Amino acid sequence: MRYPSMTALRALDAVARLGSVSEAATELNLTPSAISHQIKSLEQTLGFALTERTGRNIRITWQGERYARDIHGLLANILEAGQRFDGQQVSGRLCISSPAGFATYWLCTHIADFQALYPQVELHLISPRTPDDTSDHGADLFIAYGMGDWPNQHVQKIVSLRYFPVCSPRLVNTMGGLKTPEHLAGAPLLHMIDYSDWRVWLAAAGAPNVDVQRGIVFADAHFVQSACIASQGIAMGDNLISGEALARGLLVRPFETEIESNRGYYLVADHQKVERPVVQAFGEWVKSQLGGGL
């Protein structure tokens, strides 16, 4: 599932609190139709109804009320995170190094929310040589992919990953379907960095004899997913990178088995740089979005 937009969550929160689309539109400085569009988009993302029409008005469904209560708490946490920096100058240059996959499929679709919270911050986004590289002295903060072993640096996991095979619908049709994991023995496999993710998944799925040391090895998740969408092979997808492509039907999951990865995305920073208010502010924002923290 894709991550909901902040605008859509704020729209639902306002409608639930105020009981009116028009009042929510006034509070958020949007049109009523924009509020309705945001809620409809949120319903499509979540897969269940948040509102229902009663005559000329709408009301929140019981599922919507429960979800809105949870969202209100999260929005309050975001506001509190920003208030922790009251009296401090959250401004200046912030250079973030992020792997292309994470940047393409998450950060670049959410970064405007951070900029709106801290308009005085001059943001720069760069890519490392490899997803686990934290050697660029010009970066203030790294979003790095790995197992958390960056010695002598401040390290905090921001998202855990669940892995599962993904492929394009066209490739599945070309192969005549994939009924069991053993059928992967003749399939083109795509790998990120090494063969370990496929090896662990196949063992969990009861097909340890499938030869994983074949196919193409890529340096970043962005490359893997692009090749997978283009029907070049079957990749190991995850809950963060693959969510939107699955929702749009560009990829499918041929098997239900998934595994918890021993790798994830981390915030990594020099111990001196991590004390800067702008670095702390970004870390708190990521924590509010992904459930981790700096």
- Is it the case that residue 265 has pLDDT exceeding 80? yes
Mean pLDDT of 111-129: 92
Where residue 76 falls among pLDDT bands split at 50, 70, 90?
Answer: confident
Residue 58's pLDDT is what? 78
- Is it the case that residue 74 has pLDDT exceeding 60? yes
| CA distances, 11 to each of 27, 54, 173, 268, 284 (Å) | 9, 19, 40, 33, 22
| CA distances, 72 to each of 12, 16, 66, 69, 285 (Å) | 9, 9, 10, 5, 16
- Is it the case that residue 2 has pLDDT exceeding 70? no
Q: Residue 78 and residue 80: Cα distance in Å, rounded?
A: 5
Q: Which of 27-41, 72-86, 101-115, 178-192 has the lowest mean pLDDT?
A: 72-86
Domains, the chain, in order of start with CATH, read 6-83 (1.10.10.10), 92-160+264-290 (3.40.190.10), 161-260 (3.40.190.10)
- Is it the case that residue 141 has pLDDT exceeding 90? yes
Q: Which two tokens stand for residue 129?
A: 């040589």
Pairing status of strand 121-126 against strand 141-146: unpaired
pTM: 0.66
13: left (phi > 0), else alpha (psi -120 to 50), else beta? alpha
Mean pLDDT of the chain: 87
Reduce the DSSP state of residue 157 to 3 states and report it: strand
- Is it the case that residue 135 has pLDDT exceeding 80? yes
Contact call for residues 265 and 97 (beta carbons, < 8 A): no
Dump the DSSP string for 101-152. HHHHHTGGGTHHHHHHH-TTEEEEEE--SSTT----TT-SEEEEEESS--TT
Residue 257 DSSP one-character state? -
Mean pLDDT of 21-32: 85
Where residue 83 falls among pLDDT bands split at 50, 70, 90?
Answer: low
Q: Which residue has the higher pLDDT, 1 or 217?
A: 217
- Is it the case that residue 28 has pLDDT exceeding 90? no
- Is it the case that residue 85 has pLDDT exceeding 80? no
Q: In terms of Cα–Cα distance, which of 147, 165, 250, 230 is closest to 204?
A: 165
Mean pLDDT of 198-204: 92
Mean pLDDT of 94-121: 92
Q: What is the pLDDT of residues 167-184, one digit of tens each?
A: 999 999 988 888 889 989
Q: Which two tokens stand for residue 102?
A: 């994470």
